[in-house]
Amino acid sequence: MNRRRFIYNSSIASLSVLGLNSCSQLLRDVKITILHSNDVHSQIEPFPANHDRFPNRGGFARRASIFEGIRSVNPNTLIFDAGDIFQGTPYFNFFQGELELKLMKEMGYNAATIGNHEFDAGLDTLKKNILETNFQFIISNYDFVNTKLEGMTAPYKIYRKGGVKIGVFGLGIELKGLVNPDLYKETKYYDPVEISNEMVKILKNEKKCDLIICVSHLGHEYNSDKISDVKLAKLTNDIDLIIGGHTHTFLKEPLIIKNKNNDNVIINQVGSGGVYLGRIDFNFTNSSKNETNSLLEV
């Protein structure tokens, strides 16, 4: 396990956002642990011993043990998946995603965003599996009005852990040219940058979240104008972390990008097949040192 620490100059921008409800100090130091996977592609079991890339690695049962261990040390842990949970092994062909969602619920995943392969068994089947497993999908830029998935997903979620308010929203990739229209039906795709601005406005300005996380299936970066996590980070404000997927990008450590306000955005993605888990710990301290430092910068 390699460990890195990034020291931040706390941002001036975050001070300009006035949170009337957060007048009290944190009672103690709080560590918020974010665990994340992406593009697991129905890799329920570890890869076989003779696999060309990942012999004997991965598997849901091992991931569950790791979750358990981390959560027992830090209960302030949230677990997310950045989509393409489905498709890749016979488990999906035979059970159409039922097992994946059932296991993720059991393992303690808090939520996932919707990847393009989540449509592969059609909207009816996805709805049935969401209802059966009570698994939470967060997606902000797909509009499912007039489809079977209407009301089955949330545009954002707010989690409270150790006194810290964490706002999470989700972004999906453009479906046209990627998914058979018979599968996604009348699902509408909206511009990720516009939607992110809306989400940040709600989560930061209205709901006064301390930490904003975007769980994205846009893809890490492209050699074209196509919107990606890297582009999104540059074009928006106030997102602290983008958990990525789709491009199966194996990042050894997160990428730090400056946003529109010149604040840091952390972007991470852990490849595919569930061979790695990303872990990001946000350390909040109870002292006012943080704010004081910022004040001196002002």
Count Cα neighbours of 171 within 13 Å in the Cβ-side half-sphere.
33
How far apart are the C-alpha atoms of 131 and 125, rounded to whole Å? Answer: 10
Residue 199 sits in the site that holds other proteins (CB under 8 A) = no
Using the 8-state DSSP alphabet, how is residue 174 labeled? -
Residue 84 sits in the site that holds other proteins (CB under 8 A) = no
Q: Which residues ranging from 265 to 284 are in contact with other proteins (CB under 8 A)?
A: 266, 268, 270, 274-284
The binder of other proteins chosen from 19, 74, 197, 234 (CB under 8 A): 19
The binder of other proteins chosen from 79, 82, 123, 179 (CB under 8 A): 179
Closest to other proteins by CB, 76 or 153: 76
How far apart are the C-alpha atoms of 233 and 278, rounded to whole Å? Answer: 19
Q: Tell the smallest beta-carbon distance from residue 215 to other proteins (Å).
A: 17
The pair of structure tokens assigned to 247 is 């491009």
Q: Quick one: CA torsion of 50, 56, 61, 67, rounded to 10 degrees?
A: -150
How far apart are the C-alpha atoms of 271 and 245, rounded to whole Å? Answer: 8
Residue 215: CB atoms within 10 A of its CB come to 31
Residue 92 sits in the site that holds other proteins (CB under 8 A) = yes
Convert residues 233-272 into a mask of x (bound to other proteins by CB under 8 A) and - (unbound): -------x----------xxxx-----------x-x-x--
Residue 158 sits in the site that holds other proteins (CB under 8 A) = no
Residue 295 sits in the site that holds other proteins (CB under 8 A) = yes
The binder of other proteins chosen from 71, 74, 89, 128 (CB under 8 A): 89
Residue 120 sits in the site that holds other proteins (CB under 8 A) = yes
Identity at 210, one-letter amino acid code: D
Residue 72 sits in the site that holds other proteins (CB under 8 A) = no
Residue 6 sits in the site that holds other proteins (CB under 8 A) = yes
The binder of other proteins chosen from 124, 201, 288, 297 (CB under 8 A): 288
Count Cα neighbours of 218 within 13 Å in the Cβ-side half-sphere.
31
Residue 164 sits in the site that holds other proteins (CB under 8 A) = yes
Residue 71 sits in the site that holds other proteins (CB under 8 A) = no
How far apart are the C-alpha atoms of 24 and 282, rounded to whole Å? Answer: 19
Residue 59 sits in the site that holds other proteins (CB under 8 A) = yes
Closest to other proteins by CB, 146 or 293: 293
Among candidate residues 241, 20, 221, 115, the one with its CA nearest the CA of residue 126? 115
Q: Site for other proteins (CB under 8 A): how many residues? A: 100
Using the 8-state DSSP alphabet, how is residue 203 labeled? I
